[in-house]
Amino acid sequence: MKNTRIKNALILTLAAGLFLMAGCSKKDTPGQTGNPIVDPPVIPPVDAKTDVTMWLTKGDQSALLAKQNIALLFSTATNSNTTIAVDTTITYQSIDGFGFCLTGGSASVINSLPADKKDALLKELFATDDTHIGISYIRISIGASDMSAGDFTYDDVVSGTDESLAQFSIDKEKTDLIPVLKSILAINPQIKILACPWTAPVWMKINTLGNNGFTGGSLNTSYYDAYAKYFIKYIQAMKAEGITIDAITPQNEPLNANNNPAMVMQADEEANFVKNNLGPQLHTAGLTTKIIVWDHNADRPEYPIAILNDPAANPYVDGSAFHLYNGNISALTTVHNAYPAKNLYFTEQYTPSTGSFAGDLNWHLVNLIIGAPKNWSRNVLEWNMATDAAYGPHTNGGCSTCQGALTISGSSVTRNVSYYIIAHASKFVRPGAVRIASSELSVTPNVAFKNTDGSKVLIVFNTGSSNATFNIQFNNKIVTSTLPGGAAATYVW
């Protein structure tokens, strides 16, 4: 009997233990009953196998330089779609790069960021790996531009003149511009830098209009030699800071008297300055800095042609630079046809604070990112890299509606339309690339390049309002893609 009682007690104890174990196995969630819930395993997305990668920006901003996870495979199949034929056997100009104008105001708002955020932002802008946009060309001002907090040159005097340039100093740039440039060069030591003045020192000018002489006026012929020396001292001073100036233009917008700062320089004046002063002084100083003339709108191609027509000025001139506030981008080809051995550059275009993302994306992609290289430009630069939330800093009378590629407010950074305009090229088309042939199409304008590593890049914009389906043809094979209306795409293979 005792053994039976012990046996029954053991059975009851075992049963109770099993019951308790079953209770403990349930997930400890209020009201939870039944089997325990087990989270499903996280399965990372698998990139589609593709021959061509596609990066997309839509006018409605639902895609912003977004890599598309789709299969774009070349095949020998045929269809009736419109075709963009890309041909690497037909080559045009080499490419120097894509980027922005790093104004003094841009440098100041970038430099105002907390150190960690500033470093991360500059890496995003100038590094060349997969997660950054690889800006490869920048333009800076010699002295103040209209997007500086105030007017200044590097030789301002209270009264009289300073022909020996004894008071020349770039110290005003050591607060923001030079530190930012040094940070950029640490990321990309090969970046090209173009520099240009908005005005000469006021004491060198005659017939000025206002803003204490910084607006309007022209260069007094008595000071041509001193002004050339001013450029030499600037290039040497920047070099002493570890900053190489690849090229200069003698004057920003030389037919615009009304900006602040500004200075007028007619074509014959610029030719005389280049051939008699600036060119010879650069040569004597042993400097290889390029001279690029004009640096103004495409409505006056006769201006750079007049300088290039001057047999004494021509040898000193590397090429001509353009903006597109007036005129047609095809004017660059007019200059190229007149002087095919001379280079062409596109150095400025703003996006207004009053514009729309979709409208600016359309106009700038078609006319600049596609249009300028298709008309022989070696680069494309958008205007101001960064502004504060009030579209500043700017001078009194300077641009008050110039939207930066970045808006910086405190530690916050907003990426605006021109960021994506430039990134669609800068991220993929590297310095040393060459433009190659691609079909001329009205609804899907495009431009193609071949990088030094052999990769091909095709940039396409759909000017229509509905989807455009087309073929990309290369080496007798095609891949078919659909691009939404009002969207930009960069294809790489």
Report, as residue numbers or ranges, the catalytic residues: 253, 348
- For residues 298 and 377, the answer to whether their CB atoms sit within 8 Å is no
Token reading at 441: 């199409």
Spatial separation of the C-alpha atoms in residues 181 and 237, rounded to whole Å: 14
Phi-psi category of 283—alpha, beta or left, where left has phi over 0 and alpha has psi -120 to 50?
alpha
How many Cα atoms occupy the beta-carbon half-sphere of 118 within 13 Å? 18
Which amino acid belongs to residue 469? T
The angle that helices 331-338 and 302-309 make with each other, rounded to 10 degrees, is: 10
3-state secondary structure of 357: helix
Query: How far, in whole angstroms, is CA 321 from its chain's centroid?
Result: 16
For residue 113, the tally of other CB atoms under 10 A from its CB is: 19
**Residues 6 or more apart from 493 whose CB is under 8 A from it?**
51, 52, 53, 74, 455, 456, 474
- For residues 213 and 205, the answer to whether their CB atoms sit within 8 Å is yes
| DSSP H helix total and E strand total for the chain | 12, 24
Select from 313, 147, 142 the least CA-distant residue to 233: 142
For residue 110, the tally of other CB atoms under 10 A from its CB is: 26
Which amino acid belongs to residue 111? N
How many Cα atoms occupy the beta-carbon half-sphere of 80 within 13 Å? 0
- For residues 295 and 139, the answer to whether their CB atoms sit within 8 Å is no
Spatial separation of the C-alpha atoms in residues 470 and 487, rounded to whole Å: 14
Spatial separation of the C-alpha atoms in residues 106 and 350, rounded to whole Å: 14
Give one DSSP letter per residue of 247-285, joined into a string: EE-S-SSTT--SSSS--B--HHHHHHHIIIIIHHHHHHT
* Residue 288 to residues 244, 357, 380, Cα–Cα distance (Å): 10, 40, 22
